[in-house]
């Protein structure tokens, strides 16, 4: 039986990412121990699957000629040895493993030759028998009864499930760090944003699941009914209120999401490489890895939302952070002055599109602003840059403003009173509108230039109104101060897609000297490439100051062996349901196939899990083992599930399907599997974009 390493689910969409192969190689070089753990872990999952086939085949008296991890295509192998009648080895192609039994070959091109070999070898019966098969070697796979062959076929999947339970139980026995379900931020315009969920809120229940962890949120959304939505119970510590909301997941990023960011603590990460970005990197004295913020301007704080409220209330004002430094004497603190972050601009005003979302209970909703309205003016003056609208309105809290709106081709004027904003809403993700938090609306911004600042970087580069930005690269100067060629492949900016806000947001805390390369298209269809250096805007400040914090974890540990086994079994059940749910949504076009990951992505995720600790690696291998079990048992010829379908047919009909039918279907299955592998390899290597705008 052969087994391919199956595809893995991934849940993030990157921005301006370098070619995955480069980052993967760099990560491997920097994390040799975690890399070895990941390699042995992945190899173990494959080994367990093939061991199931091997042990049951041996128990049934079948001759096993090979047991390989990896494939020895063309005889290429890293090592091998023979013990008894079986050759054990590691093949040169690390895409799975296989057990070669006499009379069985997953390669349809070799299946006929293998069947003839199995008929011609060994001690054959002297006389014809009532057996529906031709005369086979009694130790060959085809010579076994249907129940025995079913047992051999299913043994790999069963072993994967059993060992997944053991690995998960082991992990929960050791203790697993799990993200809590506090909210550090929401995606502007997303389901959580529309319901009014904000920084600092705590999710206390998802459906019937009480006191959930963050992975429960991910599973609840991924497996939830997109039409009915998912129920969330939300507690807001700032006013001690609790409410239940039904969120309708969005699918515009290719997978169901509600747009909630995992929780932040107030501790700077231990593994931070170099200084913090933006204003945080200019703090005096500098913030260091392991620092924990305990107060702001002398007021004690214990949660991230309390810090966010101070930073959001006045982005320009320097604040004094009371910091406990890791390794310092008990009670010893230092004061760190955190300056404001000057807003950076490329000197272009882009096209604001129609309002995409209106927040429940917001000033905009109260004033009657609707999805589809297009903002035209503010207090009788042109609206200006939609990316700075919220910053301008924050200075007018409680003061009514007049908004000129185009609604269904008719101009109207609405009066709206901006509210005070004490939370942070940043547009970091692609295809995300800009949030006007003071009003409670989200506006997509398309990369067509409306106006250019006369003295700004864009004007100096010759960019004019009416032109459109089609692609963006971001790169830095080298140590000598010379421009480096961008290492990433750049980001395509689609027409009518709100990608521009994420580009501008990424520049706010970028290192000094960062440059931007733009591919600019003119209205006549001509294209050119220009380089710009973002400039600080006098008197304007961004809310994001570049602070980076550790996530908030809690330890989930079983109190007894029985408790660990119970948690392990529940984890495997959830993982199996997750894979089936993913496949269902994939085949029903509810999620994008571009979220699949191949061997490189699997190895990267295994490495990240190993970096987080041995328990986390065990849980990743649990997920991968469940993934392997489900996908290998799909009814596709050349996979275990396809073999089982043939056996069920034989059991019902009393004779096997014709050899020509089996070979034809096997070729179709092989073409399907190879096509899928080529596709996920292309995704892993960046040959195909994982991002599907506007889905």
Q: State the Cα torsion 505-510-513-514 to the nearest 10°.
A: -60
> What distance in Å separates the CA atoms of residue 376 and residue 358, rounded to the nearest whole number?
17
What is the per-residue pLDDT for 54?
Answer: 93
Higher pLDDT, 328 or 643: 643
- The answer to whether the CB of 65 falls within 8 A of the CB of 53 is no
- The answer to whether the CB of 199 falls within 8 A of the CB of 308 is yes
Q: State the Cα torsion 418-424-427-433 to the nearest 10°.
A: -30
* 342 beta partners: 541
- The answer to whether the CB of 367 falls within 8 A of the CB of 333 is no
Closest by CA to 494, choosing from 689, 327, 257, is 689
What is the per-residue pLDDT for 327?
Answer: 74
Lowest pLDDT segment from 86-100, 548-562, 639-653: 86-100
> What distance in Å separates the CA atoms of residue 465 and residue 349, rounded to the nearest whole number?
9
Closest by CA to 492, choosing from 250, 251, 692, 255, is 692
* 378 beta partners: 381, 403
Higher pLDDT, 554 or 273: 554
Question: Does the fold of domain 347-533 match that of domain 178-263?
Answer: yes
Distances from the Cα of 249 to the Cαs of 182, 225, 227, 609, 672, in angstroms? Answer: 18, 9, 9, 27, 31
What is the per-residue pLDDT for 430?
Answer: 83
- Report domain 347-533's class: mainly beta
DSSP secondary structure letters along 550-613: PBPEEEE--SSHHHHHHHHHHHHHHHHHHHHHHHHHHHTTSS-GGGEE-HHHHHHHHHHHHHH-
Q: What H or E segment, with its residue span, contains residue 100? A: strand 93-101
pLDDT band at 107 (very low <50, low <70, confident <90, very high): low
What lies within 8 Å, CB to CB, of 77 at 6+ separation is 68, 70, 89, 90, 91, 92
| Mean pLDDT of the region 281-285 | 93
Terminal-to-terminal C-alpha distance of the chain: 39
Q: 214-223 and 561-587 helices cross at what angle (nearest 10)?
A: 40
Lowest pLDDT segment from 86-95, 135-144, 626-635: 135-144
> What distance in Å separates the CA atoms of residue 21 and residue 577, rounded to the nearest whole number?
31
What is the CATH topology of the domain spanning 178-263?
Pdz3 Domain (2.30.42)
50, 178, 426, 467: the active-site residue: 50
Residue 515 φ/ψ, nearest 5 degrees: -120, 160
Lowest pLDDT segment from 6-10, 137-141, 389-393, 660-664: 6-10
Domain regions of the chain by residue span = 1-9+22-62+144-175+565-690, 178-263, 347-533
Structure tokens at 59: 């128990």
Question: What is the CB neighbour count within 10 angstroms for residue 478?
Answer: 10
pLDDT above 60 for 113: yes
Please give the mean pLDDT across all residues of the chain.
Answer: 84
- The answer to whether the CB of 567 falls within 8 A of the CB of 172 is yes
What lies within 8 Å, CB to CB, of 373 at 6+ separation is 354, 355, 405, 406, 407
| Mean pLDDT of the region 498-502 | 88
According to DSSP, residue 6 is labeled P
CB neighbour class for 123 (10 Å; exposed up to 12, middle 13-18, buried from 19): exposed
What is the per-residue pLDDT for 129?
Answer: 43
Closest by CA to 444, choosing from 351, 353, 350, is 353
526 an active-site residue?
Answer: no
What is the per-residue pLDDT for 588?
Answer: 78
Cα radius of gyration rounded to whole Å, the chain: 30
Alpha helices, DSSP H, located in 81-232? 108-120, 146-174, 191-194, 214-223
What lies within 8 Å, CB to CB, of 462 at 6+ separation is 530
Cis peptide leading into 285, omega within 30 of 0? yes
Closest by CA to 451, choosing from 520, 516, 382, is 382
- The answer to whether the CB of 555 falls within 8 A of the CB of 176 is yes
DSSP secondary structure letters along 483-498: BPPPSS--EE--TT--
> What distance in Å separates the CA atoms of residue 248 and residue 22, rounded to the nearest whole number?
37
pLDDT band at 545 (very low <50, low <70, confident <90, very high): very high
pLDDT digits (tens, 9 = 90+) for 430-456: 889 999 999 999 999 999 999 999 989
> What distance in Å separates the CA atoms of residue 400 and residue 392, rounded to the nearest whole number?
13
- The answer to whether the CB of 353 falls within 8 A of the CB of 443 is yes
For tokens 């599109």, name the residue: 353
| Mean pLDDT of the region 308-336 | 88
What is the per-residue pLDDT for 232?
Answer: 95
pLDDT above 80 for 206: yes
> What distance in Å separates the CA atoms of residue 652 and residue 415, rounded to the nearest whole number?
74
For tokens 């990197």, name the residue: 281
> What distance in Å separates the CA atoms of residue 435 and residue 498, rounded to the nearest whole number?
12
According to DSSP, residue 328 is labeled S
What lies within 8 Å, CB to CB, of 41 at 6+ separation is 606, 610, 617, 620, 621
Structure tokens at 561: 């062996």
What is the per-residue pLDDT for 6?
Answer: 36
pLDDT above 80 for 603: no
CB neighbour class for 117 (10 Å; exposed up to 12, middle 13-18, buried from 19): middle
């Amino acid at each position: 039986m052969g087994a391919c390493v199956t595809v893995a689910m991934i849940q993030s969409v990157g921005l301006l990412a370098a070619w995955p192969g480069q980052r993967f190689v760099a990560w491997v070089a920097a994390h040799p121990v975690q890399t070895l753990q990941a390699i042995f872990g992945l190899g173990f999952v494959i080994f367990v699957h093939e061991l199931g086939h091997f042990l049951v085949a041996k128990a049934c008296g079948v001759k096993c000629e090979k047991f390989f991890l990896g494939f020895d295509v063309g005889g290429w192998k890293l090592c091998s040895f023979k013990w008894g009648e079986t050759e054990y080895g590691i093949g040169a192609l690390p895409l799975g493993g296989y057990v070669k039994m006499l009379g069985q070959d997953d390669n349809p091109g070799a299946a006929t030759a293998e069947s003839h070999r199995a008929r011609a070898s060994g001690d054959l019966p002297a006389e014809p028998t009532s057996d529906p098969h031709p005369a086979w070697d009694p130790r060959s796979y085809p010579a076994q009864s249907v129940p025995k062959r079913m047992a051999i076929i299913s043994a790999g999947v069963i072993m994967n499930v059993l060992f997944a339970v053991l690995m998960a139980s082991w992990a929960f026995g050791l203790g697993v760090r799990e993200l809590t379900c506090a909210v550090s931020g929401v995606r502007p315009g997303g389901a959580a944003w529309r319901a009014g969920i904000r920084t600092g809120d705590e999710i206390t229940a998802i459906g019937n699941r009480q006191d959930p962890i963050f992975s429960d949120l991910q599973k609840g959304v991924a497996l939830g009914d997109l039409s009915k939505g998912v129920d969330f119970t939300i507690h807001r510590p700032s006013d001690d209120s609790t409410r239940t909301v039904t969120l309708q997941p969005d699918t515009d990023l290719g997978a169901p999401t509600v747009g909630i960011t995992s929780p932040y603590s107030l501790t700077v990460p231990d593994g931070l490489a170099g200084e913090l970005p933006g204003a945080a990197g200019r703090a005096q004295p500098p913030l260091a890895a392991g620092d924990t913020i305990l107060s702001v301007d002398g007021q004690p704080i214990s949660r991230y939302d309390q810090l966010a409220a101070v930073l959001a209330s006045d982005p320009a004002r320097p604040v004094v952070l009371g910091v406990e430094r890791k390794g310092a004497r008990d009670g010893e603190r230092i004061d760190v002055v955190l300056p404001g972050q000057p807003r950076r601009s490329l000197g272009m005003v882009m096209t604001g599109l129609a309002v995409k979302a209106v927040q429940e209970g917001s000033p905009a909703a109260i004033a009657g602003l609707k999805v589809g309205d297009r903002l035209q003016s503010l207090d009788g003056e042109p609206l200006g840059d939609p990316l700075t609208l919220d910053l301008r309105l924050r200075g007018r809290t409680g003061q009514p403003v007049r908004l000129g709106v185009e609604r269904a081709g008719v101009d109207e004027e609405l009066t709206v009173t901006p509210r005070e904003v004490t939370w942070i809403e940043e547009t970091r993700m692609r295809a995300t509108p800009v949030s006007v938090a003071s009003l409670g609306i989200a506006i997509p911004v398309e990369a067509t230039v409306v106006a250019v600042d006369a003295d700004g970087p864009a004007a100096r580069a010759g960019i004019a109104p009416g032109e459109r930005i089609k692609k963006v690269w971001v790169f830095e100067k080298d140590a000598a101060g010379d421009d480096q060629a961008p290492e990433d492949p750049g980001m395509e900016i689609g027409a009518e897609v709100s990608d521009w806000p994420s580009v501008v947001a990424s520049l706010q805390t970028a290192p000094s000297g960062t440059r931007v390369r733009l591919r600019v298209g003119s209205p006549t269809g001509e294209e050119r490439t220009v380089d710009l250096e973002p400039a600080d805007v006098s008197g304007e400040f961004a809310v994001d100051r570049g602070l980076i914090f550790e996530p908030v974890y809690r330890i989930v540990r079983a109190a007894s062996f029985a408790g660990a086994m119970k948690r392990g079994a529940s984890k495997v059940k959830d993982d199996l349901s997750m894979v089936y749910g993913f496949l269902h949504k994939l085949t029903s076009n509810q999620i994008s196939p571009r979220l699949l990951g191949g061997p490189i992505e699997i190895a990267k995720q295994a490495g990240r899990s190993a970096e987080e600790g041995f328990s986390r690696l065990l849980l990743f291998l649990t997920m991968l083992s469940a993934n392997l079990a489900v996908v290998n048992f799909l009814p596709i010829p050349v996979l275990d599930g396809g073999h089982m379908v043939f056996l069920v047919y034989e059991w019902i009909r009393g004779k096997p399907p014709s050899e020509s039918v089996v070979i034809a279907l096997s070729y179709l299955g092989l073409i399907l599997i190879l096509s899928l592998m080529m596709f996920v390899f292309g995704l892993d290597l960046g040959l195909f974009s994982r991002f599907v705008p506007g889905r």
